[in-house]
Amino acid sequence: MGLSRLDVLYRRLLLTKLFIQGWGKPEDLKRIFEFRKIIGNRERCKDLVQRDYPVFIDKVEDQTDCKIHNGHFISPLEHFVPGILPAESVKARFQFIVPKKWKRHRPVCIHLAGTGDHFFWRRRTLMARPMIKESGIASLLLENPYYGYRKPKDQLRSSLKNVSDLFVMGGALILESAALLHWLEREGFWPLGMTGISMGGHMASLAVTNWPKPIPLIPCLSWTTASSVFTTGVLSGAVNWKELEKQYAAHTVYEEEIINMLEYCGTDSFRMGQEFVKNAPGSFDSLSDLDLTHELLDLHAPERDQQMGLRSSRASDSALLMGRRERDGLDQMLSAVSSSGPHLDMLHAKNITWGANRRQSLQRESLCFMKGVMDECTHIANFSVPVDPSLIIIVQAKEDAYVPRTGVRSLQEIWPGCEVRYLKGGHISAYLFKQGLFRQAIYDAYDRFLQKYSSL
């Protein structure tokens, strides 16, 4: 199955860059990786958020078809990893949209936001209100950290400034979802479930791994890990790779300390292809994939040369990178993050080889480090299996260019018993035209829950 042309075209029309300030502070990465070890294990973290965690309703709006409760609470992450959230994100905000009249039960679905989904109007219009009309299921819309009212003042739109921001967002949403599920239980709502589209679907998946009870989960247009999204998907072209490579070259802490904190070691782990990377340099010989600009091949840049020179002395250690299953995709990764350079005939062959080899090595190591840290904090297999995977219905687009499935483990392998439904088309067309199928999957998952657990 090929990739959606609409996905590729849509990404090209957007000029926004991601991670413009780099990896984030090394100490922040270390703190969030340590905390990931706790939230990755349901038994260790199930009691982190108290059942009576305070949640507040600030205002109730009476609409013709529903009632909208606006509320807030303090993100539990602030208590466990103080100062890791930006000040604007500490207060979590949500809208709770309920029918005016309930049917037999009082079901609620928590919706987490996808990339670019600021505030609440999009989820309210496309999902929550139709769900009330079609099935009587209420919706709780949680605003992501770094988005909407929670967006840092110096952040441009949805462009997270640091790679670490995505991990902080995920850790916060896991605990915030638990706080809301506890609150909904206290208020007598049942059954409870979670959903989301794109990044929202992935965050909902992570949140459900920590809930100690059976719960419907409907992740739409997401898969097992965010690593492929930012290394082989069309979003890889929006990543500020030059800054990431520069920082990786300048600071040894990334490969000497942080890389040793990465625990994920599945069959699609970056560690699995160590010998391939060491012994098969020919896999990276395509100079057309590299950015051979004058700046990169300038022989009169001693400071940059010194930074990049650090890589050769440590290359054998950090070459434990990239799995064999991704061998075919590595050239694609290099191509995705490199821009076109001047014609090779204009450059001296010796200088080309010298500059290309150094650039090639740094690109390879930065890409593999990105895969490693992304898998550590976002790979579903690095978290507990949900209590009842049969309540999970995943909706995927066959030609999704944003969330590649090639080279990564499948959700059916990690969550035996879950259901995957495939839609024709790509990520963008599914989001624009298939919302009704997303809602139907939610209804089906809730029906399945009621059939299995109606006596609860």
* 381-390 residue pLDDT tens: 999 999 999 9
- Complete edge-to-edge strand list for the sheet that includes strand 217-220: 56-62, 66-74, 91-99, 138-142, 108-112, 192-197, 217-220, 393-397, 419-423
Strand partners, 292: none
Share of the chain above pLDDT 70, in %: 78
How far CA 356 is from CA of 170, 252, 306, 321, 334, in Å, comes to: 36, 22, 16, 19, 12
Structure tokens that stand for 282 in this block: 């020919």
Average pLDDT over residues 249-266: 88
CATH number for the domain running over 5-274+360-453: 3.40.50.1820
**3-state DSSP assignment of residue 258:** helix
Q: What is the pTM of this model?
A: 0.82
42-46, 97-101, 279-283, 328-332: lowest mean pLDDT where?
279-283
Strand partners, 73: 92
pLDDT (0 to 100) of residue 337: 42
The confidence band for 439, taking pLDDT boundaries of 50, 70 and 90, is very high
pLDDT (0 to 100) of residue 354: 52
Mean pLDDT score of the chain, rounded to an integer?
Answer: 83
State the Cα–Cα distance between residues 431 and 388, nearest whole angstrom. 27
Query: Residue 393 in contact with residue 193, Cβ under 8 Å?
Result: no
Query: Residue 383 in contact with residue 40, Cβ under 8 Å?
Result: yes
Query: Residue 195 in contact with residue 438, Cβ under 8 Å?
Result: yes
Q: Which of 243, 239, 261, 263 is nearest to 251 (CA)?
A: 243
Give the residue, 328 or 422, on which the prediction is more confident: 422
Task: Report H helices in 326-348.
Answer: 327-336
State the Cα–Cα distance between residues 94 and 172, nearest whole angstrom. 14
What's the N-to-C CA distance of the chain in angstroms?
43
The confidence band for 287, taking pLDDT boundaries of 50, 70 and 90, is very low
The domains of the chain are located at 5-274+360-453
pLDDT (0 to 100) of residue 88: 96
Average pLDDT over residues 329-349: 45
The confidence band for 311, taking pLDDT boundaries of 50, 70 and 90, is very low
State the Cα–Cα distance between residues 452 and 449, nearest whole angstrom. 5
Q: Which of 226, 174, 218 is nearest to 199 (CA)?
A: 226
Residue 92 has pLDDT above 60, yes or no: yes
